Structure 1
Amino acid sequence: MTPESAETVALKALAFIAADSDELERLLARTGLTPETLRSQAGDPALLGGVLDFLLEQDDRLLAFCQDAGLAPEETTRARSRLPGGAGEMVLP
């Protein structure tokens, strides 16, 4: 998977999370980001890695995203490994 493909998966994950106000609140609380910062930095690869970290923290959340996006969970994990901080720690700008 290319870094560009990984970013596309992460942007889909961000849209999926943003569509659920409860999940979005959890993401913002977990990262300390404001909605404005999230919007303005949505294309930052490090932030996108953090979005995938959040998604991968819960199997239910991951599986719901994968079903919605038509992806296998392994593809999401592979995408995470191609973005900054892919060793497993959440990295945000």
Structure 2
Amino acid sequence: MTGDEAEFVAIHALGHIAGDEDLLGDFLDRSGLAPDELRARAADPVFLGFVLEYLLNDEPRLLAFCEAAGLAPELPAAARRALPGGEEHHWA
């Protein structure tokens, strides 16, 4: 997956979060951002990685997004790996 494709998935994820009042409130609490900061940060690949991590850390939240977006459940994880900070580390 390219970085542009990953950003596209993450921006859709952000739109999904923003469209749900409960999710948005929880996301803002966890991120420490004010609502007006979301639009400015939406172009930041590092922030978009955080958006995907937010979804990936809760399976029901992740599956709800994937169903709404018509995406395979493994696609957000692939997108996360393609964004800064999402590289897999193999320590052995």
Instruction: Tell whether the structures are fold-level matches, with TM greater than 0.5.
Output: yes
Runs of 4+ in 1 over 4 A off after TM superposition: none
Pairwise CA distance, 1:6? 0.2
Structure 1: gaps (5+ residues): 89-93
Which position in structure 2 is the counterpart of 1:85? Answer: 85
| Pairing of 1:1-93 with structure 2 (within 5 A) | 1-87=1-87
Which position in structure 2 is the counterpart of 1:91? Answer: none
Pairwise CA distance, 1:61? 0.5
Aligned length: 88
Structure 2: gaps (5+ residues): none
CA distance in 2, matches of 1:19, 1:37: 16
Root-mean-square deviation over aligned CA pairs? 1.2
Deviations 1:37-79 (A, max 9, x none): 1111111101100000101111000000001111111111000
Pairwise CA distance, 1:87? 4.5
Deviations 1:3-57 (A, max 9, x none): 0000000000000010001100100000101111111111110110000010111
TM-score (norm 1): 0.90
3-state DSSP class of the match of 1:73? coil
TM-score (norm 2): 0.91
Highest CA radius of gyration, 1 or 2?
Answer: 2
